[in-house]
Amino acid sequence: MSTFDPDALECLAAIVEEGGFERAAQRLSITQSAVSQRLRALEAQIGTVLIVRSRPLKPTSAGQLLLKHTKQLRLLRADLERDLKELAPSSTGGAREEERVSIAINADSIATWSLPAVNDLARQGLPLEIITDDQDFTHEWLREGQVLGCVTTLKQALRGCKVVPLGAMSYIAVAQADYAKKKCPNGLSQHNFREVPFVAFNRKDDMQSEFVSKAFGLKRVTLNQLFVPSSEGQVRAILAGWGASVLPELLVRGLLAQGQLVNIAPSFALPIQLYWHCWNLESEVLDHLTAALTGAAGQALTTT
């Protein structure tokens, strides 16, 4: 089996993660020419192209495999750092920028239960990078080898990975109190939902239409939507009277209790089952991440 230059592997990862050669060079503190040379040397060793020169840059299938291998090496180094700190706390310095441990978590989980779960690991110096995406798409980051774990709605384990059920997050339809009185005084219904703008996370987010479809037994739903790519931003938008939104009950519980928001479809809630996927590797860092996330989810989410 070939031995790959760790610097060349980190160079490949930097190009993908930073989205270009110039920013990769800045992160690695080398010239852009050196970045290109390392990539060419790695491609010559593999015998195939590793990066698609598109906008944005994307790894090829071979590039994805090497990217996953690089992430695994980072995880091994993180395990070593952790063990060395326990044996000799003063023997190691901070982790290098390129040795980040990356996981993908959906925005609603970040806004509610997941960040407190990893507080201790972050305070202990784990070089954590959290990537956010819609819960139906976070697994693509894992499939492409760009993260070592993800919180997703996908139930089936990916190849080489293990999956742990986390529980269900309950979603409800809410609006600002005065806005609801004006637009839907008797609540949201199959007759008036088209008159209410819905604030969604982004164009990949089908939560709003899925909620309306299942709440009223409709096969096809077309909504008037606005987009705010932040869970907290969606809350601020509806508080400002932009429209309604389907959000985690965990996120808006306090505002409902204060009367600033109201549940405009109180007879229906949409449970979304979440799962933690991670590489099936022996790693203390990975085990600690898994235990932290599953423990926090067990307290915050519901079982179905």
Quote the pLDDT of residue 304: 61
Q: What is the pLDDT of residues 216-243, one digit of tens each?
A: 999 889 999 999 999 999 999 999 999 9
Q: Which residue has the higher pLDDT, 47 or 150?
A: 150
Q: Which residues of 157-186 are buried (b: 16+ CB within 10 A; e: fewer)?
A: ebeebebbbbbbbebbbbbbbebbeebbee
Average pLDDT over the chain, rounded to an integer? 89
Q: Which residue has the higher pLDDT, 49 or 80?
A: 49
CB 32 within 8 A of CB 11: no
Quote the pLDDT of residue 88: 52
Domains, the chain: 1-97 (1.10.10.10), 168-272 (3.40.190.10)
pTM of the model: 0.75
Rounded percentage of the chain residues whose pLDDT exceeds 70:
93
Q: What is the pLDDT of residues 82-111, one digit of tens each?
A: 766 665 555 445 445 556 788 999 999 999
d(CA 124, CA 92): 13
Which stretch of 54-58, 60-64, 183-187 has the lowest confidence by average pLDDT?
54-58
